[in-house]
Structure 1
Amino acid sequence: MKIKVLSRANLINILEMPEVIKGVESVYKTKAQGNVVAWPLVEHKFSTGALMDIRSGGAFGEVGIHGAKLLNNFPENAAKGLPVFTGVLMAFDSETGLPIGVMDASYITSMRTGAAAAIGAAALARPDSESLLLVGAGLQSIYLLGATLVKMPGLKKVRVIDTFAQDNADRYITTIQERLKNELGIDASEVVFEAAHDMKEAVEQSDVILTITRSTSPLIMKDWLKPGTHLSCIGADMVGKEEIDPEIFRTARCFADDAKQCCTVGEMEIPAKMGILSPETVTGEIGEVLAGMKPGRVSDEDITVFDATGLAVLDLVTAKTAVRTAEEKGLGTTVEI
């Protein structure tokens, strides 16, 4: 039995953000039609502060893939000269059960996470949005930013703020245009980039907000949001993580990638525990909006929120794209198991 093995370097050469976005959108729509499953999340917190989680699931019908990924986040590795974020992804054909690929999970996770944030923003933000606030300037932030610039070409100004390391935002904006071009093939030469240091002021001036931090308490308060703001909340993907004021959920139109999972381990977890919302009262899932089953924004004044906790099947559909392209280009290694 032959299987394709793809390294991170292979994936960087293979994957392009527009194709990743297309695959993620197809999965969200397939989920809305009832053909996607997300199996229970397994996670472990090490005494050192490191994290491990296993996510698994499948997208059936036309997508036809299932599998699992194991991810590790070991912050202390940075001081040792080792990768902080690592993982392995295993993908299987859902018609035969045969494995189609084993590959690095970290790059695929970063790409599809960026795509998810962008899809939510494009579907729920005001069409005339011009200003974006990126909250968090860590390793995954470039993927959120790049994907959103692809999906929302009308954006003219990007502010970047990092509440955990303020100087990071200053450094970030000096290289981000070059990095977007070199790492993702995205031309952002017409976009103005600016570092922000006052969260309240930055929030008040933004049409679209992307959050990708490790925060366990709100960084953005309800009273700071101007009418019509959209927030794509990505950082809260485990119990106890929280980036925005739970009170926002009382009046906002709130959408999830998976309502039950978001109310368990996502940005919706704390509001759900407070009784503000539940899987049954969430406005909808993003796939329902994309499939035309539910309206997203209904007025220019709406505050909209997209909570994305991450579905393993998004990684899997990206893996399927990667394997197909690798075979076409003769990249990667084929092994017999």
Structure 2
Amino acid sequence: METLLLDSDDVHENADMSELVPAIEDAFAAYEHGDAQMPAKSYVDLPQYNGDFRSMPAYLDAGDWDAAGVKWVNVHPDNEDRFDLPTVMGTMIYSDPETAFPLAILDGTELTMKRTGAAAAVATDHLAVPDARSLGIVGAGVQSYTQLEAIAAIRPIEEVVVSDVDEEAVAAFVDAYDDQFDVRPGSVAEAAGCDVLSTVTPVRDPIVPRDAVADHTHVNAMGADAEGKHELADGVLTDAKLVIDDYDQTTHSGEINVPFTEGTLTDEDIHASVGEIVVGDSEGRTEGDGLTVFDSTGLAIQDVAAAHVVFEHADERDNGTRFDLLGVA
């Protein structure tokens, strides 16, 4: 047997959102039903290099398929300036659960971007108004692209407003999509007035005020992935039907972590997890709902589900590079 090596282009080419979004939804359902194992993310701190490593293992049984894997990812803020390398890099090992054979080694950075967009799409599908046609994006980095790609796969998005302090990043985003959507630069307030809003910034002081967000808007809070990060004003969270991906992660490092620690939010303010909504144990958007928020921190089960989709298609299409990793071919 041979292992398949899949670089970022291979991952991109084999991660079609029409299949990735349902796979991520299956992962949420498996987790909610107890058909997944996801040990807590572990950290290796490297203060001497101003960085750290994080390991994210998981197994899930989605019924028609099961999958296992682990993502090894870093955060080294000095990389770009000192070594001309990305701050965050990831590597995914995808294994056969029955034999433990390493089926594939994938670029985890592209995989993370794709599955994060797909997770927002799952939440949007259950929480946004059915006829949502406008999407606001705050933050024009790499994640903004997959937010649009994924959400447009489940809602008839026509208008896109993108906001960022980096004008060049905004211009690049507009250029990438101006032949597919009515896309334009705008303020945070203009983006927040759309039917769906995705925030994908690393800020620690909220940049989206309550009075900017329309009362019918669904917000995907995607940027907060560490303690202290906080994109949305507390009023947005207290006024919203609030949905999370995982209780332990969101209260520690998600969008709600700061107001939760301060006591502004409590367990009673959390409506449900997205998994509870997916399996029907809690309601998503109902006729009387207004503002909704999805607090996403990113789960290892999402990486495994995304790797499953990518590997299956790459294997069928003979993409990537095959090699004898274990010497058993």
- Does the TM-score normalized on the shorter chain lie above 0.5? yes
Relative to structure 1, the CA distance from residue 118 to residue 169 in structure 2 (aligned partners, 3 Å threshold; closer, same or farther) is: same
SS of residue paired to 2:38: strand
Aligned residue runs from structure 1 range 170-209, under 5 A: 170-173=171-174, 175-177=175-177, 189=180, 191-196=181-186, 198-203=187-192, 205-209=193-197
Answer yes or no: is the 8 Å Cα contact 1:91–1:101 preserved in 2. yes
Residue 146 of structure 1 and its aligned partner are, at CA, apart by: 0.9
Q: TM-score, structure 1 length as denominator?
A: 0.87
Residue 276 of structure 1 and its aligned partner are, at CA, apart by: 3.6
The one-letter code sitting in structure 2 at the alignment partner of 1:240 is: G
The one-letter code sitting in structure 1 at the alignment partner of 2:40 is: P
Determine which of 118, 122, 125 is the counterpart of 1:122.
125
The separation in 2 between residues aligned to 1:76 and 1:156, in whole angstroms, is 38
The separation in 2 between residues aligned to 1:284 and 1:143, in whole angstroms, is 25
Q: Which residue of 1 aligns with 2:20?
A: 20
The separation in 2 between residues aligned to 1:90 and 1:26, in whole angstroms, is 20
Report which stretch shifted further, 35-44 or 17-26.
Answer: 35-44
Q: TM-score, structure 2 length as denominator?
A: 0.89
Where do 5+ consecutive residues of structure 2 fail to align?
Answer: none
The separation in 2 between residues aligned to 1:26 and 1:201, in whole angstroms, is 34
Report which stretch shifted further, 263-272 or 29-38.
Answer: 29-38
The separation in 1 between residues aligned to 2:153 and 2:62, in whole angstroms, is 28
The one-letter code sitting in structure 1 at the alignment partner of 2:208 is: I
In the alignment, is residue 266 of structure 1 matched against residue 266 of structure 2?
no
State, as a whole percentage, how many aligned pairs show the same letter.
28
Number of residue pairs matched by the alignment: 322
Alpha-carbon deviations, 1:93-151, whole Å to 9, x = none? 33333332222111111111111112211210111222211010012210111111111
Aligned residue runs from structure 1 range 97-136, under 5 A: 97-136=100-139
Aligned residue runs from structure 1 range 282-301, under 5 A: 282-301=270-289
The separation in 1 between residues aligned to 2:96 and 2:319, in whole angstroms, is 20
Relative to structure 1, the CA distance from residue 315 to residue 168 in structure 2 (aligned partners, 3 Å threshold; closer, same or farther) is: same
Determine which of 136, 141, 166 is the counterpart of 1:138.
141
The separation in 2 between residues aligned to 1:269 and 1:327, in whole angstroms, is 40
Aligned residue runs from structure 1 range 91-102, under 5 A: 91-102=94-105
Residue 51 of structure 1 and its aligned partner are, at CA, apart by: 5.2
Residue 278 of structure 1 and its aligned partner are, at CA, apart by: 4.4
Residue 315 of structure 1 and its aligned partner are, at CA, apart by: 0.9
Q: Which residue of 1 aligns with 2:312?
A: 324
The separation in 1 between residues aligned to 2:199 and 2:21, in whole angstroms, is 19
Q: Which residue of 1 aligns with 2:54?
A: 53
Relative to structure 1, the CA distance from residue 35 to residue 299 in structure 2 (aligned partners, 3 Å threshold; closer, same or farther) is: same
Answer yes or no: is the 8 Å Cα contact 1:5–1:335 preserved in 2. no
The separation in 1 between residues aligned to 2:202 and 2:48, in whole angstroms, is 17
Determine which of 253, 259, 264 is the counterpart of 2:241.
253
Residue 253 of structure 1 and its aligned partner are, at CA, apart by: 0.8
The separation in 1 between residues aligned to 2:46 and 2:173, in whole angstroms, is 29
Residue 70 of structure 1 and its aligned partner are, at CA, apart by: 1.4
Report which stretch shifted further, 287-296 or 59-68.
Answer: 59-68
Q: Which residue of 2 aligns with 1:239?
A: 227
Where do 5+ consecutive residues of structure 1 fail to align?
Answer: 179-187
Residue 210 of structure 1 and its aligned partner are, at CA, apart by: 0.2
Q: Which residue of 1 aligns with 2:163?
A: 161
CA RMSD of aligned residues (A): 2.3
Aligned residue runs from structure 1 range 29-108, under 5 A: 29-43=29-43, 44=45, 46=47, 50=51, 52-60=53-61, 62=63, 63-79=65-81, 80-108=83-111
Relative to structure 1, the CA distance from residue 138 to residue 261 in structure 2 (aligned partners, 3 Å threshold; closer, same or farther) is: same
The one-letter code sitting in structure 1 at the alignment partner of 2:158 is: K
The separation in 1 between residues aligned to 2:158 and 2:106, in whole angstroms, is 36
